[in-house]
Chain A
């Protein structure tokens, strides 16, 4: 292994390690604006330059591998001056306005300028042309602020296999964006927001809907209720300086109540409901396939992740019959809040405003889908990201850290641990198995602590299988059947898995797909920045939340049982069909 000296400290690192990563081992942080660990090292921003003894020019440390005996200096006069010049040049083009920028105080360029102690910018020249693109429901782009680091290009192309963003044109006129510099709605974009999650500056953000929520809360004629997705409770604390992986469920509920929502509900409630509906849908398909020997679309794909739905619609329209017809928990919640809950509290659907807090940009897009109005009006009125909720709490002057722990409101607020784990890649599958296994055998899922270890963790594609034995009489046709399941997170992994399934190389009964790497805990709307280490901490927090609950199986949720008794009747019944299930349609890719 090569030995190198970095700022006087010797380290030994594996062959091929970049200077940047070797420096981390030596306890030296080299600043960068384009590097993304394990994803993207292209030396685009030039901020990471270092001096290598004997080399004529400075080296971009993110792309320069170490060589044995290298002597590297990361803050010589030459390096400091070069770095300063690079940042000044970036700022001379940067068409931003820090005070009114979405990323004020959360901007990597701003932070670096501060760190370098820049007091003025020596260079004057043209600014990058401002170009605000608000054409899509969830993502806002401003080319004027873009520093062309190409992180978004890497996540959109490599991680998500979408390729909506790519460098267009050349030289100073280069813009990072959709084909020929047009707006995002002209190309196939799934609205996952992973671009916004990695953007170092304010060039890509969520479309803010904070004003709409304040307006609804100010309107005394409206009853405003809120639902919170499972992943938010494991990340919201980061908006207030807490360690990633801090669970803030109770404080989050308290904060929402103080913001003025009439009722604080849990998307977990409809996550449990999803398991009942989607689990029975799977059993229905298995019955058709195994018992009736009829042709049926298997594997069944999960449908909770709206980026994945859009991806299917654009890239695999022929596979749409394989998707579960279940709406996502967010949309189930909206439809039920404006029918079931409205009836319970004697309100009209049009007088209720449903706000959701999601780790996601695509949920904004999903809430705007024209078919999502089965309550008679738009089912979910506003979808906020985790970051937007954090900002609202600050705007209200709430001292988040000092809040007491409070519980969700009843009727649509109870949840089991099975719902919490929807936030993690593999969680929906595990939750479904916990219920389906018990429906079929009358016994608990035979894994330690109700977990399915092969489906846990950050691997992009995971699989598991189990042979069903000891079935209840009604399900005897499943006796001895080996149930095969697979889980993929990130759309490039989803694509790889779907291609294998299409080619007949693998076969499964049930497949869970999450758009974002690691699942919703790594969603585009989560606090920045999300790294694999932070993903893992949030995943662990979610499993802790699950394990800390008395009820950990969706079919045990008392409020879910109540809604079937009072309102829905039975899973896959007439009311469910109307309110909880939907259809999808092909979209033109180009």
Chain B
């Protein structure tokens, strides 16, 4: 199964029709397989950086699933987003372990630092903020992720340091290169 390569919006430089053509190839590859919807949505989100309506409708028709069903799956998983995200995606885990070890406070600190609410993107398009239920990193609680980097035992007082380290494009690029290597 292909997984999402990147959640950032930098690939949006590629124009929509090119991305839709790539999506068509993916749909064709998956259409006969059972349980195709979620992997196709993941790949689509990787391509577009989010799940635009045009892509969801293409998936609905291509996989012969009703649009309401596609939307239902997209809306169920917090992983999926139907709005464009910033260059960096910050996810705060509010699963049980993280919650009891201060995840809520970490979230509040990040909200305050970025000046945005959950589901929003900073005006400079650098950061989007989301919450998640369990990364499977309960031993590292409270955990957050920025893009694909997991940050463990995060302290509210130190969140600005983590966030600021992603403010330069080079850091994000470096992080991506590191990911691609591994």
Please report A residues at the B interface, Cβ cutoff 8 Å: 157, 162-170, 177-181, 187-188, 589-590
Contacts and interface: CB of A to CB of B under 8 A. Distances in A.
Given A589-B61, A590-B57, A590-B60, A168 B72 contact: yes
Contacts of B36: none
User: Main secondary structure on chain B at its contact with chain A?
Assistant: helix
Interface string B37-75: 000000000000000000001001100011111111001
24 contacts: A157-B69, A162-B66, A163-B66, A163-B67, A164-B68, A165-B68, A166-B68, A166-B72, A167-B76, A168-B71, A169-B75, A170-B76, A178-B71, A179-B68, A179-B70, A181-B75, A187-B66, A187-B67, A187-B68, A188-B67, A589-B60, A589-B61, A590-B57, A590-B60
Nearest to B54: A590
A165 B71 CA distance: 10
Nearest to B61: A590
A179 B57 CA distance: 11
Contacts of B78: 170
Nearest to B60: A590
B60 to A, nearest CB: 5
User: Main secondary structure on chain A at its contact with chain B?
Assistant: loop
A167 B71 CA distance: 9
A439 B65 CA distance: 45
Interface residues of B, number: 15
A259 B155 CA distance: 75
A91 B143 CA distance: 38
Interface in B67-102: 67-72, 75-76, 78, 82
Contacts of A167: 72, 76
A181 B72 CA distance: 9
Nearest to B68: A166
B68 A177 contact: yes
A162 B69 CA distance: 10
B112 to A, nearest CB: 25
B166 to A, nearest CB: 28
A283 B50 CA distance: 55
Contacts of A180: 71, 75, 82
B20 to A, nearest CB: 14
Nearest to B77: A170
B131 to A, nearest CB: 12
Contacts of B68: 163-166, 168, 177-179, 187
B76 A179 contact: no
A179 B76 CA distance: 12
Contacts of B69: 157, 163, 166
A165 B72 CA distance: 9
A145 B69 CA distance: 21
B149 to A, nearest CB: 26
Contacts of B65: 163
Contacts of B82: 180
Contacts of A187: 66-68
Contacts of B67: 163, 178-179, 187-188, 589-590
B152 to A, nearest CB: 26
Contacts of A170: 75-76, 78
Nearest to B58: A590
Nearest to B66: A163
A568 B78 CA distance: 62
Given A167-B76, A179-B72, 20 more contacts: A162-B66, A163-B66, A163-B68, A164-B68, A165-B68, A166-B71, A166-B72, A168-B68, A168-B72, A168-B75, A177-B68, A178-B68, A179-B67, A180-B71, A180-B82, A187-B67, A188-B67, A589-B60, A589-B67, A590-B60
Nearest to A181: B75
A531 to B, nearest CB: 26
A165 B67 CA distance: 9
